[in-house]
Amino acid sequence: MSEEAVLEEGSAVLEHPFLKQMIVQLRAVDSYGTYDTWSDAKVLDPMILTKARRREIPVVGDPDETTISRVKAFYNGLAQMIEKETGIMAVPVINLTHEGFGRAMIVVGKLVALDKTLRDVHRFGFETPEKLIEDAEKLISKAVELVTQFKEVAKL
């Protein structure tokens, strides 16, 4: 990405609990230690796809391993936050084709608390950090509501 970094170290938005969890998850999927010397802002920055960054990505394409790891980190972060709010283990299940189509689910017990169809994963990202937080909070609140409503199933 040729555009300058969107996030700056010390930015107040990086203090949001979900973004902190995203940083933990992104560092966890970094099996080669690339992110060890990176700041939190630099680790999270590729998740932000401004309009200019999105224009640089072809409309049709296959996702690379780095992009797939970002998708996994996002759903792992969601699962962790759902588990934190409900007290019941939440597990992400992601099925992707090599072309970047598939499904992401978060399962709590026998309950599918979140189910998202994935398309064009090679273009996965959020326009701003605030949009990332907003989308995550919507998904988390819906999932927590389902778990609360169907607690017996979630505890199976």
pLDDT 10s digits, 96-110: 988 889 999 999 999
Q: What is the pLDDT of residue 72?
A: 92
Q: What is the pLDDT of residue 31?
A: 83
Q: What is the pLDDT of residue 118?
A: 92
Q: What is the pLDDT of residue 120?
A: 86
Distances (CA, A) of 119 to 12, 66, 71, 73: 31, 16, 11, 17
In terms of pLDDT, which residue wins out, 156 or 78?
78
pLDDT 10s digits, 3-39: 567 777 777 788 899 999 999 999 998 888 888 889 8
Give CATH superfamily name and number for 12-154: Protein of unknown function DUF269 (1.10.3100.20)
Full strand arrangement of the beta sheet holding 90-96:
90-96, 102-108, 111-118
Instruction: Please give the model's pTM, rounded to 2 decimal places.
Output: 0.87
Return the residue matching tokens 């979630």. 154
Element at 77 (helix H, strand E):
helix 65-86
pLDDT 10s digits, 107-145: 999 999 999 999 888 888 898 889 999 999 999 999 999
Ranges of each domain in the chain: 12-154
Reply yes or no on whether the pLDDT at 147 is more than 80.
yes
Distance CA 102, CA 97 (A): 6
The token pair at 35 is 């992110």
User: Predicted confidence band at 2 (pLDDT cuts at 50, 70, 90)?
Assistant: very low
pLDDT 10s digits, 74-94: 999 999 999 999 999 999 999
